[in-house]
Structure 1
């Protein structure tokens, strides 16, 4: 009988043998020069969790290191970046050592994540707590989807830089390759643009915050200022930290809607409503006016963020843009007449085209929420579908590549169960079983045009890292398998059967996950501001 090894995500091919390898018997981590940064990350991780200090030595095909080593090597023709082939790897653990081979450094990064899960769970702690022992195994692996991401909303409630770095590490351990940062919205502006100081002086904080659910009107407001932002140096640190782990950061600057924080700082860019940063949650009428000044501001912000993050994608948002202000705006009417627009939705399309054209000059590609389809979007823009999976077909028919993120399955700010003690969520019900059964690219869909899949952690009702962890885990782990592992492999060894072991890893890492049997007493909503609030939620229809 094959030995059972519990990994999440499950590799595509895994063959276990009897016995273990004690890594302390190895002399070094032998790495190709290009892999030195990853080799040192692995050495540091082993040192923290097991106390084993393996030196890193250079090894090449012409001058290989002999003896029992943990070898990281590149072999074969190098594939293009951001392809499944770039993340493929082979991991062999034998009595004579460990060989981790890939054609691209990203594949080595994914293999290191798998190797860390082969260690005892306590090896994931921050101080030595486990022996450096791994089972003998051969793994051949490659992701199913190119983009496997998690979105962290740092706007509705600011999440500090150290927590962002932790989430990058957790994405890495689960073989995700994208962390999407939602950086701007009505409730705050969260990054520094040196030429626009009012964005952080005024737009980065709000005077009060809604208590309880936004629909629970009697609950009132907490009159405590809330805010925060990332300096340019903070952003560069986040970018570097992710780059070392071959994680792509996708920054989102959400325009032309969700603009209350922008307009609090620079009211002249809107219709002059002169309202403060929004203290509650929902969709608001204030949008950028389609003026050259507003467009110049947006392009300035996109330039600032694109200069920091070197990944190929910039997220422009574009969701939930009300047309009310533009319908009564003489400026919008003049634009529509000049451009021959038949529908006011063309105003958003005007912004979208300008964003795409500008970012293309910087070598960037735009991605936006599925509302950018309304009124038309350039064919090169990728579309992130969030409303329902039916919008996937609409985006594909319009010629776009699609990132699949339906709120019905991967919005982890929805309730985890029907338990009345669950803490406050926006609405919906997304139990872990629903995530496990989901297929982001079902039969009949052209999988070659599916960029990938992503789960979301909107933070209206996740005020601090502890709350984000409870909402994310273990659902994020199950999502990671859905995005990485082929359906036949998932069905042969269901992920829910492997969660027990994986929860030990989450516990060792200090993650405040939701237990499978329900929330601990200190995780429950109680009867105060975090109490459960339900209302009838109807899924949107495709227009």
Structure 2
């Protein structure tokens, strides 16, 4: 498997950054090349011309990265002067948008302007990509001229929401990998990490009020071998969860890189692991549930009793104490209704609340949770199934079953995030399945992702404003290792970053492909196990 994951063409040749100097991904809105270069020397200073601590934080990041690569760390100093020669200077400009920046490079100085630390951080990512690629190596590089080509860049993102998802319910990944994943999100100017923490196959977050979630729900007795429903199992217990201290560590790490971490706690479906620990929240409380050992969708779902809502509110309260994110994801997808149809209690609720049917009951369930999350000053996100039975008042829809869910939400004046399976699901094959590791199916190439246009033309200009962004999703049924995740995610997430950041009229796949040859070298130096078939 390892050989298959690292399969590459023996004669891959990476294009040197000297050959094409402006290989920034995602592509900025404007890049104006100029003659000459700025050379970073041992006495070059990093100057911060603002008291904003976020700018000082970004300046320190730059100093640390230069220091690791050059062997000498530039000084970070404060100065009110805007014309300090032989310096890389950070200036605050309140006229720029929240995530926008300008980056001006002359032979005397590099000047970065932004209105917030976010903008300064994204300018830093562009600056690093203008430097020789050895800047991304974890080891000191000798014999390198640390130069930046002269240019003028004015930049800002197309969408405010730019996300990358990771499912840790099917397979669990250590904190060290989660941090690396966040680093790669930040490098690509994405700003949301959607952390899918609970599933039928495993609950991955410590909830102190309900210790059996860690003791029981985080573990499964074995795992299916090969494809789902193969009826072959490995017979090996599997488990893992993040302690609350680890979650805090990850959230703080992401915050320092201007990445928002969105937790997902699945409900009312995809909850068999919960019922293995707390069967009283199911429709058959006397049943002996087990954490799922196969992939797929399970009929065992949460029952909308008051005790269940109290459980979920208690869980979400602890989750919201750990995650400062404005957005809280509650899943809401793929909830079979069979047990609700057979439950006298559920049918009584449908009749009492005049809900019509089980789809109305799902809407009732989601509205209850939406009201609670809203009362805490947060916003609820759900997969597009939350549209069934009527959309909850404050919900944001994540449209995965095509684009219809996002279109319907926008027409009802709800915000939507576009994440259609046919374009941005990174668990799909990216090359001939005969030559690739096992995947769930589908076929989504780098070019196909790059071609995706998130804003539907069916919407009016006013409705289009409700399409707040785009996200790629990574479901890990067949991704047992972090190497495998990297292989499936990159370089396709690089294409997604340009879909999310760059104006539609500036996109050009052939030019993107050329820049990706240089970006591939960066990924190599960052020790990312990416798919290299696109370099052939």
TM-score, reference length from structure 1: 0.90
Residues 346-355 or 180-189, more deviating: 346-355
Map 1:109-124; keep pairs closer than 5 Å: 109-124=121-136
Unaligned runs of 5+ in 2: 1-18
Aligned to 1:477: 494
| Separation of aligned partners in 1, 2:240 and 2:79 | 45
Unaligned runs of 5+ in 1: 79-84, 520-543
The answer as to 2:401 corresponding to 1:371 is: no
Residues 321-330 or 343-352, more deviating: 343-352
Which residue among 14, 22, 27 is the counterpart of 2:31?
Answer: 14
| Separation of aligned partners in 1, 2:490 and 2:101 | 26
| Separation of aligned partners in 2, 1:74 and 1:424 | 49
Spell out, residue by residue over 1:392-427, the C-alpha distance to the aligned partner (whole angstroms, 9 max, x if none).
222222332110000000000001122411111111
Which residue among 255, 279, 294 is the counterpart of 1:280?
Answer: 294
Aligned to 1:40: 60
Map 1:104-183; keep pairs closer than 5 Å: 104-129=116-141, 130-183=144-197
Matched position secondary structure for 1:162: helix
Aligned to 2:76: 56
Aligned to 1:435: 449
Kindly tell me: are residues 517 and 444 of structure 1, through their superposed partners in 2, closer, same or farther at Cα, counting changes over 3 Å? closer
| Separation of aligned partners in 1, 2:167 and 2:433 | 25
Residues 400-409 or 387-396, more deviating: 387-396
| Separation of aligned partners in 2, 1:134 and 1:51 | 18
| Separation of aligned partners in 2, 1:492 and 1:260 | 43
Q: CA RMSD in A?
A: 1.8
Matched position secondary structure for 1:87: coil
Matched position secondary structure for 1:420: helix
Kindly tell me: are residues 278 and 267 of structure 1, through their superposed partners in 2, closer, same or farther at Cα, counting changes over 3 Å? same
The answer as to 2:50 corresponding to 1:30 is: no
Deviation at residue 180 of structure 1 after TM alignment: 0.4
Spell out, residue by residue over 1:15-63, the C-alpha distance to the aligned partner (whole angstroms, 9 max, x if none).
1112222222553211223212222122112222332401222234xx6
Aligned to 1:381: 395
Alignment check: 8 A CA contact 2:166 2:473 kept: yes
| Separation of aligned partners in 2, 1:239 and 1:16 | 37
Residues 271-280 or 458-467, more deviating: 271-280
Residues 506-515 or 393-402, more deviating: 393-402
Aligned to 1:522: none
Kindly tell me: are residues 162 and 208 of structure 1, through their superposed partners in 2, closer, same or farther at Cα, counting changes over 3 Å? same
Kindly tell me: are residues 299 and 259 of structure 1, through their superposed partners in 2, closer, same or farther at Cα, counting changes over 3 Å? same
| Separation of aligned partners in 1, 2:510 and 2:79 | 37
Alignment check: 8 A CA contact 2:327 2:381 kept: yes
TM-score, reference length from structure 2: 0.91
Alignment check: 8 A CA contact 2:450 2:509 kept: no
Aligned to 2:14: none
The answer as to 2:125 corresponding to 1:92 is: no
Residues 18-27 or 474-483, more deviating: 18-27
Aligned to 1:530: none
| Separation of aligned partners in 1, 2:413 and 2:168 | 31
Aligned to 1:202: 216
Deviation at residue 307 of structure 1 after TM alignment: 1.0
The answer as to 2:498 corresponding to 1:486 is: no
| Separation of aligned partners in 1, 2:387 and 2:534 | 41
Matched position secondary structure for 2:429: coil
Alignment check: 8 A CA contact 2:415 2:466 kept: yes
The answer as to 2:371 corresponding to 1:357 is: yes
Map 1:457-472; keep pairs closer than 5 Å: 457-472=474-489
| Separation of aligned partners in 2, 1:376 and 1:50 | 58
The answer as to 2:530 corresponding to 1:513 is: yes
Spell out, residue by residue over 1:329-348, the C-alpha distance to the aligned partner (whole angstroms, 9 max, x if none).
11211211221111111221
| Separation of aligned partners in 2, 1:330 and 1:518 | 59
Matched position secondary structure for 2:444: coil
Aligned to 2:93: 75
